[in-house]
Amino acid sequence: MSSGFVVFYSTGLVIFYPSIMPLRKVQLVNGEFYHIVKRGTDKRKIFLDDEDRLRFINSLLVFNDQNPVPWESRGFWHQRGPSSLVTSVYKVENPLVEIHVFTLMENHFHLLVRQIVEHGITTYMRKLGGYSYYFNQKHKRMGSLFEGRYKIKLIETDAQLKNNFVYIHTNPVEIIEQRWKDEIVKSPQKAIEFLEKEYRWSSYWDYLGKQNFPSLTNRNFFLEVFGGAQEIKKQIDAWVLFKASNNENGDSKDVTNEARPRW
């Protein structure tokens, strides 16, 4: 029999997922940081409303456990409601990874994690696939929700670590600034306020000290690296303002090219 894993659902459905993907070039080592990106198949939306986003954020928390996931019982979900787990004192007993940064976009998500047990990232990402079953059931669709392979990048330098932190947290600016990827921002102050006051679907608010999804992320490390919440805000604002300066200079050169995530 080919290798793979089996998922048992509360409805009685049993699905076998064969391990047919080639081995990764990126070696997953305990104690190292990794930037992970997972997209919807054909770049389709993976979140259609706030209930989907809350469900996925709770999935990020609950699936990060070496123990069996209690969500196999529907009662576990309905007893708590869409946002109660991440805003409560729910604790994962035996985590697979440390989640330091996350951002949800319409058709993909970003994670910055540190692996803390052998095969932790592989197991965690496989478990997160359970969100697909929820999404397909709710929205009455069939087929794969995610691309077959998530992208992952080892963080090798301190510069990469800081810049990936900033890159992930500023990714939502693209929602209101369509040329964000071209290093151009028309309204930098609006973009800064959008990140601080409007877009809650990332770890940024919690780093600023606003109680958003406090149970999900480990924030002490980066608070120490940057020197506190105000310094984090300065770095985020500076990156937005740098891109805005390209409008005036007509120069879209990325001064942090060495440290930016390249897939």
The predicted pLDDT at position 244 comes to 87
Q: What is the DSSP letter of 101?
A: E
> What predicted TM-score, i.e. pTM, was given to this entire model?
0.83
| One domain for residues 116 and 61 | yes
Show the domain range for 37: 4-154
The predicted pLDDT at position 73 comes to 53
Give the three-class secondary structure for 70: helix
What is the tally of structural domains in the chain?
Answer: 2
| One domain for residues 14 and 130 | yes
- Distance, in Å, from the CA atom of 253 to the CA atom of 246, rounded to the nearest integer, reads 8
Q: Which residue has the tokens 């306020």?
A: 193
Question: Residue 230: inside a domain, yes or no?
Answer: yes
Residue 46 banded pLDDT, cuts 50, 70, 90:
very high
Question: Residue 260: inside a domain, yes or no?
Answer: no
Q: What percent of the chain has pLDDT over 90?
A: 62
Average pLDDT of the residues of the chain: 84
- Distance, in Å, from the CA atom of 251 to the CA atom of 75, rounded to the nearest integer, reads 55
| One domain for residues 144 and 23 | yes
Question: Residue 104: inside a domain, yes or no?
Answer: yes
Q: What percent of the chain has pLDDT over 70?
A: 76
Q: Which residue has the tokens 């081995």?
A: 23
pLDDT tens sequence across 133-185: 999 999 999 999 998 889 999 999 999 999 999 999 999 999 999 888 887 88
Residue at which a domain ends, from 154, 169, 186? 154
Angle at 212 between CA 210 and CA 215, to 5 degrees: 110
| One domain for residues 86 and 172 | no
Question: Residue 263: inside a domain, yes or no?
Answer: no
Residue 258 banded pLDDT, cuts 50, 70, 90:
very low
Alpha-helical (H) ranges within the chain are 50-62, 74-80, 84-87, 120-128, 131-139, 158-170, 188-193, 204-207, 220-226, 229-249
CA dihedral 18, 22, 25, 26 (to 10 degrees): -10
| One domain for residues 168 and 135 | no
The predicted pLDDT at position 161 comes to 96
The predicted pLDDT at position 181 comes to 81
Residue at which a domain ends, from 108, 125, 154? 154
Residue 70 banded pLDDT, cuts 50, 70, 90:
low
Other Cβ atoms less than 10 A from the Cβ of 218: the count is 16
Residue 69 banded pLDDT, cuts 50, 70, 90:
confident
Determine the length of the chain: 263
Rounded average pLDDT over 210-229: 95
Question: Residue 149: inside a domain, yes or no?
Answer: yes
Rounded to the nearest 5°, which phi and psi values hold at 33? -95, 145
| One domain for residues 90 and 170 | no
Residue at which a domain ends, from 129, 154, 179? 154
Q: Quick one: which of 153, 112, 152, 150 has its CA closest to 131? A: 150
Burial of 230 from C-beta contacts in 10 A (0-12 / 13-18 / 19+)? exposed
| One domain for residues 127 and 208 | no
Rounded average pLDDT over 114-143: 94
| One domain for residues 50 and 120 | yes
| One domain for residues 184 and 125 | no
The predicted pLDDT at position 89 comes to 66
| One domain for residues 149 and 164 | no
Q: What's the CATH number where 86 sits?
A: 3.30.70.1290
| One domain for residues 211 and 96 | no
Residue 54 banded pLDDT, cuts 50, 70, 90:
very high
Q: Which helix (H) or strand (E) holds 35?
A: strand 33-39
Distances (CA, A) of 177 to 170, 184, 245: 11, 8, 14
Question: Residue 91: inside a domain, yes or no?
Answer: yes
Q: Quick one: which of 118, 105, 111 has its CA closest to 35? A: 111
Q: What is the DSSP letter of 172?
A: G
pLDDT tens sequence across 1-27: 344 444 444 444 544 444 434 445 788
| One domain for residues 147 and 198 | no
- Distance, in Å, from the CA atom of 87 to the CA atom of 102, rounded to the nearest integer, reads 16
- Distance, in Å, from the CA atom of 89 to the CA atom of 72, rounded to the nearest integer, reads 21
